Structure 1
């Protein structure tokens, strides 16, 4: 019986602590490594790793410009619009 109580308590603590892992603690400190002809960063370095910056042409395997601390790119929504962006025509306001 004691083992069952300990297992339940451990499981509850694991689920309670998990959301803390997803918290963003400030913007990334990115160093611009490469820019395009317009002066926009195309590659940034965070720590020891270099990332390509997402653009309208490249959206897989890259970092969102705002997540990299750059002052351009899409602004994430502060709410769930009710369906995925791929199912929504047009743009949405950042705040509901």
Structure 2
């Protein structure tokens, strides 16, 4: 009987000591690593002056307004729906405020 009691007490003491040991363990810092993704050869950034974008072109070009202030001028607000749904010309600044 005493052996069972001693075993129970030893187990209880060991159980209480474990959280204290866990608190002194080294701190782990979880850090995200950068991910590098290869770009297809035709879409890699070019150096030097960029050409003006052609229709449907999205990479390696600059819009004509930024290049020489010609073409479509970007507006300074969200008109509330996509440009493909808007037929009338929009003012440069938000008319509501």
Given the two structures, how large is their TM-score scaled by the length of structure 2? Answer: 0.41
Q: Which has the larger radius of gyration?
A: 2
Judging by fraction of residues, say which structure has more helix. 2
Given the two structures, how large is their TM-score scaled by the length of structure 1? Answer: 0.41
> Which is bigger in relative contact order (C-alpha 8 A, separation at least 6)?
1
Judging by fraction of residues, say which structure has more strand. 1
